[in-house]
Amino acid sequence: MREKWVIIYDLRTKEVKVRGLGIGHGNPVRVQSMTSTRTEDVAATLAQINALVEAGAELVRVAVQSRASVKHFKEIRRETDVPLIADVHFDHRIAIMAADAGADKVRINPGNIRGPEKVEEVISALKANRIPARIGVNSGSLEEDLIEKHGGVTPEALVESALRWADFFLERDYEDFVLSVKSSRVPDTVKAYRLLASKTDQPLHIGLTEAGPLWPGAIRSAIALGILLEEGIGDTIRVSLTGDPVEEVKTAWEILRSLEIRSRGPMIISCPTCGRTRVDIVPIVQEITEAVSKITKPIRIAVMGCEVNGPGEAAEADIGVAAGRGFGLIFRKGRIVKRVKPEDIVSALLEEIEKS
């Protein structure tokens, strides 16, 4: 059984560096997201990048959809130090321009670049600028010959596409790339990444593409990514949700923290409430959650509403409270440090957290 807050790093893959940030081969599983603003709106895009970084994003992807948008991407690049990934589709010239404009990494799907000679030009630009790429294969943009060969968009077809292009890059003496094979279906995503991981030592970016709205999308992503990460598959992750991308970062960290692969900020353990509960737990948990939302240091906080499981769970936490009839016991590292009235539970708990 793992000890608390153990960080598990995979040594099976190669290392790729993005603006000095290591991915794969013993580095932490990296968290990334993508801006949803118009890249042409430089101020809004920079504000969202800053919000993503504050939430814990270590890399940020930005859509570069046209040659005209490259100049805006270049301006964004000048205004932030976070590793920026240029997301480019269809036009190889945009990928080349983005590389020349200061992108720290370029994400392409070679299958929609329309021709191997154009992909070769992109590789030349990547080499010239000494930056890596992500070869991103998605279920929605798979090559027609592979769809026909496999009888549809299957995990095997996704993996064959990724390996086809991986070989293409490697044959041209370029190995500085990450692979991904995303599907919007959990079983297909898991099967594809398992198969891909068995056939390559390139770093893998994992995610469930088009996962959906916040609530169902977070659950689907947690299932797919959780299975893969627990099996040691995945070097960098993105949770793709419909909505504010800050929620993607929060969800990604919660997945990593739940598996005890990486930890950042508070983990709040709270009881589900039942007929045994001695205090109204819901508002207490909500208030505590909001109060500690800006903390980045790992800390385990237990908020328990009765005397059955409360003392044991609270004692296991770094800081916790177990409520009894008309009182709350504040714990620190298993030791009772204070007995308080129900109305003082939140303030007493926050006071102990501030001491940490």
Q: pLDDT tens digit string along 75-123?
A: 999 999 999 999 999 999 999 999 999 999 999 998 888 889 999 999 9
Helix (H, G, I), strand (E, B) or coil at 107: strand
The pTM (predicted TM-score) of the whole model is: 0.90
Q: What pLDDT digit, counting tens, does each position of 311-328 carry? A: 676 667 899 888 878 888
Domain region containing 117: 16-258
Q: What pLDDT digit, counting tens, does each position of 234-249 carry? A: 999 999 999 999 999 9
| pLDDT of 201 above 90 | yes
Mean pLDDT of the chain: 90
Domain boundary among 258, 274, 308: 258
Q: Are 74 and 98 in contact (CB under 8 A)?
A: no
The pLDDT assigned to 34 comes to 97
| pLDDT of 15 above 50 | yes
User: Does any domain span residue 107?
Assistant: yes
The reply to whether 99 and 164 lie within a common domain is: yes
CA atoms within 13 A on the CB side of 39: 25
| pLDDT of 309 above 70 | no
Q: How confident is the model at residue 9 (pLDDT cuts 50, 70, 90)?
A: low
| pLDDT of 190 above 90 | yes
Number of domains in the chain: 2
The reply to whether 253 and 300 lie within a common domain is: no
| pLDDT of 250 above 80 | yes
| pLDDT of 3 above 60 | no
The reply to whether 53 and 151 lie within a common domain is: yes
| pLDDT of 270 above 90 | no
The pLDDT of 278-303, averaged and rounded, is 87
Write the DSSP assignment of 308-329 as a string of letters: TTHHHHHHHSSEEEEEETTEEE
Tokens found for residue 306: 């009765």
The reply to whether 235 and 281 lie within a common domain is: no
273 or 103, higher pLDDT: 103
| pLDDT of 305 above 90 | no
User: Does any domain span residue 2?
Assistant: no
User: Does any domain span residue 6?
Assistant: no
The pLDDT assigned to 5 comes to 42
Tokens found for residue 293: 């939302």
Residues in the chain: 356
| pLDDT of 308 above 80 | no
The reply to whether 277 and 251 lie within a common domain is: no
The reply to whether 33 and 130 lie within a common domain is: yes
User: Does any domain span residue 301?
Assistant: yes
69-78 and 92-100 are packed helices; what angle lies between their axes, rounded to 10 degrees? 30
CATH number of the domain residue 276 falls in:
3.30.413.10
Q: Are 30 and 58 in contact (CB under 8 A)?
A: yes
Domain boundary among 207, 239, 258: 258
The reply to whether 58 and 163 lie within a common domain is: yes
| pLDDT of 204 above 70 | yes
User: Does any domain span residue 11?
Assistant: no
The pLDDT assigned to 281 comes to 81
138 or 173, higher pLDDT: 173
The reply to whether 87 and 232 lie within a common domain is: yes
Q: Tokens 């980045």 map to which residue?
A: 296
Backbone angles phi, psi at 120, to 5 degrees: -60, -40
The reply to whether 192 and 288 lie within a common domain is: no
| pLDDT of 307 above 90 | no
- Residues 246 and 251: their CA atoms lie apart, in Å, by 9
- Which DSSP helix (H) or strand (E) runs through 135? strand 133-138
The reply to whether 241 and 333 lie within a common domain is: no
The radius of gyration computed from the CA coordinates of the chain, to the nearest angstrom, equals 23
The pLDDT assigned to 211 comes to 85
User: Does any domain span residue 73?
Assistant: yes
The pLDDT assigned to 91 comes to 94
The CA–CA distances, whole Å, from 140 to 12, 35, 157 equal: 29, 20, 12
1 or 166, higher pLDDT: 166
The pLDDT assigned to 4 comes to 42
Domain boundary among 210, 228, 258: 258
The reply to whether 174 and 96 lie within a common domain is: yes
- Residues 227 and 186: their CA atoms lie apart, in Å, by 10
The pLDDT assigned to 120 comes to 96
The reply to whether 277 and 220 lie within a common domain is: no
CATH number of the domain residue 135 falls in:
3.20.20.20
| pLDDT of 167 above 80 | yes
Tokens found for residue 184: 């919007």
